[in-house]
Amino acid sequence: MLLRVAPGGAANEGRFMLQAFRDHKRWLMFIAMVLIIPSFVVTGIYSYNRMTQADNSIAKVGDVSISPEAFDMAKRQQLEQLRQTMGENFRANMLDNPEAGEAILKGLMDESAVSQTVAKNFVQVSEEQAIMLIKGASALQQDGKFSPELYENFLRSQGKSDQQFVAEVRRDLAKETVLSGVTATYPVPKALVQDYFRILTEERRVRAFIVNATDYVEDIKVTDDEAKAYYDAHQKDFLLPEHVKAEYVVLSPADFKAEAPNPDDLKTYYEQNQSRWMVPEERRASHILIEFGDDKAAALKKAEEILAAVKADPASFADEAKKNSADTGSAAEGGDLSFFGRGLMVKPFEDAVFAAKKGDIVGPVETEFGYHIIYVTDIHEARGKTFDEVKPEIEAEYAEQTAIRQFGEHADEFTNLVYEQSDSLGPVAEKFGLKIETIDNVTRTGVTDPELGRIITEHVAEALFGSECLEEKRNSNAIEVSANTLVAARVVEYKPETVRPFEDVKSRIVDAIKLERASAMAKADGEKKLAEVKASKKLDGFSEPVWVSRQQMQGQPAAFVDLEVSVPTEQLPAFVGMQVEGGAYLIGYVEEAKLKEATDAELAGLAREVASIYGESDRRGYLEALKGVLGSEILNRSVIEGTKTAP
């Protein structure tokens, strides 16, 4: 089943191009930059001594085995994501339970099923779309524009080449195309979408009065005795957790330099893999969509009239698209859909485009969305990239693979050396030319710095607090913190859990007491003011009126906007008040209400968002069906049911 998306009449971004890319662009960026990219760490090209054996597998999907190492890597990845999102609330043992283990393995099996489906059915996303996604990622932009320097730094941090990373993004987007094609088809009742739209867009014309807690702070005095009493009563809030100062070394392929490759070998590799560098045919087309509406015959007649007009005068096509096309996303561009390859459009549309010649105007072509008049404006013929074009890529791959191979050849030596000469990291650092780094404030859960957290993982922290490192002052074992990256560490100094000295936290305590008292004073005065304006109806000191909704909050706190919008229209005008985060007390005068009329385009867009939420059950059913077709089974539950990660 080769999934295709349909050209049609959605608003803004349009339904024509790859829906999973257009309709969920920001969401896909989030996946690419937060979920997909870290996952690349666990799929190294070459694992130094971890060849997967069938009898070591914990599960199988089709003919593909899932190893304990893959499970362990996936668990580490999820822990790292939790560490970054939860901050101080993170605990290294959060996934040490059977339920979490089951979920991790299920995710790996789902991923395997989707990957196999993508491969078997040749689902592809073009290189151009992957590049567009990367360039649009906010993490790689500076001053609103794509930054090659940030991108280069990112690639270096991941140990990836540009070509490899683009290929990986293409693969992940192809997988997402399969899944989004399922969830986007969930039938959402129109009444439900209309209710959601009303809840999000219903407006209130409001004026606000603020009683700021900060206005009271200067007049509040806190004595040393009061601060000390607070300190004594809240000792647990000022605990400095036990921590160590540690030394560590890192071994990775970056520590090995490859020799210049033999030109003949590069040429041979190119010739044996020419299909890899084939650029498929792409066509550029514009279209005008006429929706069926309530009268399909009338729609066909209109489409035929427009077809005759643009055939007579092709230069008028863009103007006709702007005036008549129901696909408002492309209509704004004169109907232009840019370049696309096979497999991205519904079949009737694709067949018409690829059967035409450059400059042909064809139609009306019927799809589920209506009638299309199509103008084929350009063609990029299929071609293979020349050796000179791909030579830098091959050389980069050669250097990368050579470094990884050398790393694999020396990984055991590194592992043995840190164990055999366990009283110092000096010998292993000297042997491999490594720098011994020092880090302080490593707790049992690791470090707070996300970048260092990639090296001093929870597994490294666990080793540092083990008896061999902490009591016997030995090196840790060589620990794999990511694909093809080994870390060895040792404790330099240990500091037990202590309560921070009063003088170190006194200023924090004073500020906390002041804010607590100021908040209480602001609330008291705010409630008094609310009662006064309810009685007098005077609006002295209130802001100018603005229209707010749950979608357009105009800088007001979400909870306060919700309170304002929740006032029944029959009770307007009305005063409302509440204390918000930070201690301020807000009073709102809600003057009138207004309902926004929804356009078809807005309802269609919201329907897709709701479908993606409610379609989760369809997604799960689809994944289970894929695994059923391929055949899947769990072979060893001991790994996922235990309280420790896989060896």
CA separation, residue 109 to residues 104, 115, 175, 322 (Å): 9, 10, 14, 47
Query: Do the beta carbons of residue 300 and residue 372 sit within 8 Å?
Result: no
What share of residues in the chain are helix, strand, coil (percent, to 5)? 50, 20, 30
452 falls within a domain = yes
The angle, 0 to 180 degrees and rounded to 10, between the axes of the packed helices 600-614 and 162-183 is: 100
Quote the Cα angle for 359-360-362, to 5°.
Answer: 150
Residues 588 and 505 grouped into a single domain? yes
Please count the other Cβ atoms lying within 10 Å of the Cβ belonging to residue 440. Answer: 12
Question: Looking at the domain assignment, is residue 49 inside a domain?
Answer: yes
Q: What is the DSSP letter of 35?
A: I
**For all residues of the chain together, what is the average pLDDT?**
81
- The answer as to whether 197 is a domain residue is no
Please report whether residue 419 resides in a domain.
Answer: yes
Q: Residue 330 and residue 336: Cα distance in Å, rounded?
A: 6
Whether residues 424 and 462 share a domain: the answer is: yes
Same-domain pairing of 585 and 452: no
Are 441 and 572 found together in one domain? no
Domain end position, chosen among 434, 464, 496: 496
Q: Judge whether residue 90 has pLDDT over 70.
A: no
On whether both 177 and 99 belong to a single domain, the answer is yes
Binning pLDDT at 50, 70 and 90, where does residue 23 land? very low
pLDDT tens digits for range 557-569: 999 999 999 999 9
* Greater model confidence, 25 or 466: 466
State whether 472 and 531 are in the same domain.
no
Examine the pLDDT at 184 and tell me if it is beyond 70.
Answer: no
Q: Is residue 322 in a domain?
A: yes
Per the CB < 8 A criterion, the answer to whether 166 and 130 are in contact is: yes
Burial classification of residue 490, based on how many CB atoms lie within 10 Å of its CB (0-12 exposed, 13-18 middle, 19 or more buried): buried
Pair (516, 483) in one structural domain: no
- 232 or 616, greater pLDDT: 232
Domain shared by 330 and 363, yes or no: yes
Give helix 616-630 / helix 162-183 axis angle, nearest 10°.
Answer: 110
Distance between CA atoms of residues 623 and 255, nearest Å:
41
Please give the torsion angle defined by the CA atoms of residues 170, 175, 178 and 183, in that order, rounded to the nearest 10 degrees. -120
Burial class (CB in 10 A: 0-12, 13-18, 19+), 341: buried
Domain shared by 144 and 163, yes or no: yes
10 pLDDT band, cuts 50/70/90, is very low
Axis crossing angle, helix 263-272 with helix 387-420, rounded to the nearest 10: 110
* pLDDT, position 187: 65
Over residues 312-330, mean pLDDT = 89
pLDDT band at 588 (very low <50, low <70, confident <90, very high): very high
Closest residue by Cα to residue 441 from 481, 494, 499: 494
H/E stretch holding 633: strand 632-634
Q: Are residues 364 and 451 in the same domain?
A: no
Last residue of a domain, one of 458, 474, 496: 496
Q: Does the residue 44 lie in any domain?
A: yes
Asked whether residue 209 falls in the same domain as residue 345, the answer is no
Q: Would residue 233 count as lying in a domain?
A: yes
pTM above 0.75, yes or no: no
Domain enclosing residue 439, as ranges:
242-257+407-496
Same domain, 223 and 176: no
Position 46 confidence tier, pLDDT thresholds 50, 70, 90: very low
| Number of domains composing the chain | 4
CATH of residue 333? 3.10.50.40
CATH of the domain at 474: 3.10.50
- pLDDT tens-digit series, residues 432-462: 999 999 999 999 888 888 888 889 988 899 8
pLDDT tens digits for range 589-644: 999 999 988 888 888 878 777 776 766 676 777 788 888 888 888 888 877 765 34
Domain with residue 82: its CATH number is 1.10.4030
Average pLDDT over residues 513-533: 95
User: Would you say residue 265 lies in a domain?
Assistant: no
Q: Residue 147 — very low, low, confident or very high, per pLDDT cuts 50/70/90?
A: confident
